[in-house]
Amino acid sequence: MRETMICPTPPMGWNSWNTFYDKINESLIRETADAIVESGLKDAGYEYLIIDDCWSMKERDAQGNLVPDPEKFPGGIKAAADYVHEKGLKFGIYSCCGTRTCAGYPGSFEHEFQDAAQFAEWGVDYLKYDNCSRPRSQGTEMLYRRMSMALRSTGRDIVLAACQWGTENVHRWIRSTGAHTFRSTVDIQDSWNSIETIVSSQLELQAFGSADCFNDMDMLVVGMNGGGFNPETKMGGCTEAEYQTHFALWAMMNSPLIIGCDVRELSKEAGNILMNADLIAINQDSECRSAYQVDVYESPDSFILVKPLSNNEYAVGYFNFGDSKANVTLNFWDMGLSSAAGYGMDVYDCLDHQSIGIKREYMTVQIPAHGCRIVRMKPKGMS
């Protein structure tokens, strides 16, 4: 009997798809593992290194087994997994609930138990499980149940990351399949418009994610800067402020934090965003509470998210999706703190990493276009 959850907090790691597309190989995986450790990302909490689509041959072998591409992975997948494990990281791989993956490689449909056993033998810790090329007569709920059972039957703890795209009201039933995360969005692109679209589609679904089954808003594009080999993902890139807002929203909304840029060439600016310990702590808070939205009156393009944290604290995110700066006010009674209660809020800034002091009744901040301000608040008696 499992005594602890596999995913008590949102998974953190790196995935090859956004930047490298089909240009993956054993050397890249080894170099990326090295970079995750040497850059400080591992110490910041990023532990999964995940190979996405295009790692196998186009056909199974005579016994029906998946075959790693010998040109990309001459040592096999287990050798890559072993190297990742030697670095103190966990190893992830990709498959699909259909007959073919999204890039046209063999999927796991009707091979679930065979593939799960092979993944466990290789030392896989995380399976991204996509939703392409399934028979039209087959709904995804049963297919995710089937792979979940197959993974559990191996006796190895393997995260099941259901990349389901938000069809068939996935948020209503996915937890019952045994999946640990669920994609409920279209694929992200390296653009502000994509980030804004994804967030807007998920604000009403916050209550459906919780410990051991998190709403995955797709991989991070922080640090891509319009580059990479993936023609579907790379766009014009984002500004540093937009990348900061992107990361803050994923942290506040309990999304897995899966990096998509080339961490071997991580810029100082991207590293500062991705390794912000104060924002990571909000994402990884042990209570895993969902955030609620507070509307503001000063700007129709601005909103506030409030997330209850452990230790009687609250994470508060001020966000401005507008194209010009805006003043944004949070009235503390919208959090439940009456002005007659005799309490103020002790405020700490999570981007500047410093105390702001005590605020009473409300807090107004000016937010630049596409920007944010993230603070922690704790009620404090004023008598």
Amino acid identity of residue 70, one-letter, is P
34 is catalytic: no
Q: For residue 221, what are the contacts with CB-CB under 8 A and spacing of at least 6?
A: 18, 188, 189, 190, 194, 195, 233, 238, 243, 246, 260, 261
- Indicate if 187 belongs to the active site: yes
Which one from 130, 190, 216, 285 is the annotated catalytic residue?
130
Q: Given 22, 34, 157, 187, which residue is catalytic?
A: 187
The residues annotated with a catalytic role in the active site are 130, 187
